[in-house]
Amino acid sequence: MSNVVVLKGVIVNEQEFRQHLAAYCRIMGGSAAKLLQKQARLFCEDMAAYVYPLEPDGVMGQDGISQAARLNGTNRVRGQIEGIFMPLAYVGAGEIWAYGNEGIFSAWLGAKKKIPEPKIPNWLLNGSQLGKGKSLWTKFQEWEYAKKQSSKAGKVDLSTYYTGNIQGIHERTRGGNKKASYFSYMKKAGESGKPSVIGDTGAEILAYSKRVEKRVGELKSAWYSASVGLGSIKSAAWIKGNQWGTGIQVNELQNPTEPSVTVGNSKQGLHGQYNPNTFNWYKYCMHHRAYAMRVEMVNKLVKGGNANTLFHLAATSGVGKGLQYTP
């Protein structure tokens, strides 16, 4: 018999994937319901590994449930949030001068006093009297440095300081809670948007970021919950503990004539139906499942010396494009 090599990286469409499933059930034998259950369970396991976050520089489908992957996800969230917010203490004097609000000016001075290196003159920081009859606000307005720097103002939004609506600003910036534009909106806002000024020294921003970071793993956890009842899958506590009831499972495995099981993830809407990353996660996983089934089928047929079935597979179904014969 010729040598048979199972090809990796073969792209299959949905019809060819169904042909893989049909051939798999026929060749592996036994209960079709149990075989379909196994593949649905493994599909959920694959998807939990394939969707974000991954390890830094990780390969899709590998290391997706590690602590390094979780840390990569939380770091990404924190970086995005820190890219759209700024504490008042780190706003430049020119921005304060151009905004022209004495209340913001007073709050700015108070915030500056709370950080190790306020980087403003002592007369301003300490409020020492340099001229009778002039308020500190007036003297600040006369400060030539602030005047000069004000020409570069307009890079932050000081109007948000008193509102403190950090969650509302974040959700508006990201385009809502379940939008395909999430990553692109956050990236654009971080690169070219005006940071919203919230809080004095960054404590409020950090506290909010930590709350949001707890959501890391929601996409993966939905696939974990979709697998419940199909058998155990590889996972981690940060994934299992992040379930929001977004896993989908339609279990018809007990149907005696046509058993089936459908698994899905409604949380996928966080990145949208048309997001290329979401599409690729599903496609890559489907290609990998098809490959894994080919490996199982070939191993069984080669071991059993059943060349005729193997050749028939290659000639009559989409399974054949994933096989290569060598003399």
Could you tell me if residue 79 is inside a domain?
yes
In a shared domain, residues 184 and 84: yes
- Show the beta-strand stretches assigned E in 81-232: 85-86, 196-197
Could you tell me if residue 61 is inside a domain?
no
Question: Can you list the alpha helix ranges (DSSP code H) found in 51-162?
Answer: 67-84, 93-99, 102-112, 122-126, 136-142, 144-149
What's the pLDDT score for residue 18?
92
pLDDT exceeds 60 at position 273 = no
What's the pLDDT score for residue 271?
46
Could you tell me if residue 62 is inside a domain?
no
In a shared domain, residues 192 and 85: yes
In a shared domain, residues 186 and 89: yes
Task: Look at the chain and report how many structural domains it folds into.
Answer: 2
In a shared domain, residues 88 and 184: yes
- Lowest-pLDDT choice from 106-120, 195-209, 276-290: 276-290
What's the pLDDT score for residue 306?
79
164, 184, 213: which is the final residue of a domain? Answer: 213
Could you tell me if residue 65 is inside a domain?
no
157, 188, 213: which is the final residue of a domain? Answer: 213
Could you tell me if residue 258 is inside a domain?
yes
Could you tell me if residue 69 is inside a domain?
no
197, 213, 229: which is the final residue of a domain? Answer: 213
In a shared domain, residues 227 and 98: no
Higher pLDDT, 313 or 161: 161
In a shared domain, residues 239 and 263: yes
> What is the spatial distance between Cα 145 and Cα 82, in angstroms, rounded to a whole number?
28
In a shared domain, residues 189 and 318: no
pLDDT-derived band at 177, boundaries 50, 70, 90? low
**Structural domain boundaries enclosing 98:** 74-213
pLDDT-derived band at 130, boundaries 50, 70, 90? low
In a shared domain, residues 193 and 116: yes
pLDDT-derived band at 268, boundaries 50, 70, 90? low
- pLDDT, tens only, 55-101: 887 666 677 899 999 999 999 999 999 999 999 999 999 999 999 99
- Lowest-pLDDT choice from 64-73, 127-136, 149-158, 309-318: 127-136
Could you tell me if residue 285 is inside a domain?
yes
Who's near 209: CB < 8 A, 6+ residues apart?
77, 78, 81, 82
